[in-house]
Amino acid sequence: MQTNFRGRDFIGDLDFSKEEVETVLEVAWDLKRKRALGEPHPLLRDKTLAMLFFFSSTRTRGSFEAGMAQLGGHGAFIDSETTQISHGDTAKEIGEIFGRYFDGIAIRQCDWDFGNKYENEVAKYSRAPVLNMQCDIYHPFQCLADLMTIMEKKGRDLRRKRIVVSWAYAASYLKPISVPQSLIVQMPRFGMDVVLAHPPEFNLMPDIVEQAKEQARKYGVGFDITHSMEEGFKDADVVYAKSWGPLLTTADKVEGKRLQDSYKSWITDAPKMKLAKPDAIYMHPLPADRNIEVTDEVIDGPNSVVYDEAENRLHAQKAVMALTMS
């Protein structure tokens, strides 16, 4: 078990070593047990967390706010639109000032080619740890919850388990690429063979893909890329299929929507799930475009673990907050 967390930022998935992630999960399971038993665990009594949102949220806001309350502290919801950020407050000001007001700063800033840079700039000037609630490159807390859920369903030893991280069609906005990118760099460290499936125009960042390949080589697991959803689903133990935008192909929303609409057949349905193993689990970070991105039959079916996955956001985030903010 690792113990050197106090005051550390958590912005990218590889900020914590494999052993440190294992410690986070051990703490998360302990806090989950305490929550189930009704045992008080005010590990952050009188501590405060600034929760700065540039993008709307359901699970992220709810889980961080509830988590801080359960840890005995307070989460302050701050909408960037209701601050002076649009009138001159720079990342330096936010880091310097919020770092003095609060014991931690959590930020959700997903603007393409800006969000991650902004969070790191805040961290540069903050005396309090900065936690990434999602940026344009990573969604590390979602990935921790995903890993926690997979271990609960498939066992702690994930070696030779196969996860497909697949693009899926969605009619709504062009979503960030941070979820699949976090998944492909984190899962190889825990022994999973990773298959990345997406249409040719929906590539992930080349340096992130290289990081994923490097982790796969380091831990002796597979990492493959296919442009066929069906090929990706074959023999999968874990199906993780969601939409993301063609951000490396075009930044134009109209062209992006045209490209997205040309792949409406990329839907997670029962026939595709049958290509995976019979006991394969279906995962999605939510919200999902029902009957467009995934059929009701799948997301509400016996193989779906989306609500357990959403719950684990709470426990994984509480673990990191307790370790970094105490």
Here the CATH number for the domain that contains residue 217 is 3.40.50.1370
pLDDT 10s digits, 159-175: 999 999 999 999 877 89
User: With helix as H, strand as E and coil as C, how does 10-79 read?
Assistant: ECCHHHCCHHHHHHHHHHHHHHHHHHHHCCCCCCCCCCEEEEEECCCCCHHHHHHHHHHHHCCCEEEEEE
Is 294 found in the same domain as 172? yes
Neighbours of 199 (CB within 10 A): 18
Quote the pLDDT of residue 56. 87
Instruction: Provide the domain limits for residue 165.
Output: 142-309
Q: Let me know if residue 4 belongs to a domain.
A: no
DSSP string, 127-140: SS-EEEEEESS--H
When divided into structural domains, the chain yields a total of: 2
Res. 52: pLDDT tops 90: yes
Are residue 157 and residue 292 in the same domain, yes or no?
A: yes
In a domain, residue 5? The reply is no
Burial 243-262 (b: 16+ CB within 10 A, else e): bbbbbeeeeeeeebeebbee
Same domain, 119 and 196: no
Q: Does one domain contain both 295 and 167?
A: yes
- Same domain, yes or no: 199 and 73: no
Query: In this prediction, what percent of the chain has a pLDDT beyond 70?
Result: 100
| Cα–Cα distance measured from residue 316 to residue 326, given in angstroms and rounded to the nearest whole number | 15
Name which of 80, 146, 86, 90 is nearest 110 in CA terms: 80
Q: Phi, psi at residue 83, to the nearest 5°?
A: -115, 180
Q: Could you tell me if 237 and 280 are in contact, meaning their C-beta atoms sit under 8 angstroms apart?
A: yes
- 31 and 162 housed in the same domain: no
In angstroms, the CA 72 to CA 40 distance is 9
Calculate mean pLDDT across residues 218-244: 98
Residue 18 and residue 74 share a domain: yes
Number of helical H runs and strand E runs in the chain: 12, 9
Question: Which whole number is the average pLDDT over 89-116?
Answer: 97
* Residues 108 and 187 reside in one and the same domain: no
Two tokens, residue 30: 């302990």
What Rg value do the Cα atoms of the chain yield, rounded? Answer: 19
Asked if 216 and 317 sit in the same domain, the reply is no
293 within domain boundaries:
yes
Q: What mean pLDDT do residues 111-123 have?
A: 97
Are 156 and 83 contained in the same domain? no
User: pLDDT at position 173, please?
Assistant: 77
Q: Characterise 46 by phi-psi region: left (phi > 0), alpha (psi -120 to 50), beta (else).
A: left
Phi, psi of 105 (to 5 degrees): -125, 115
pTM for the whole structure: 0.97
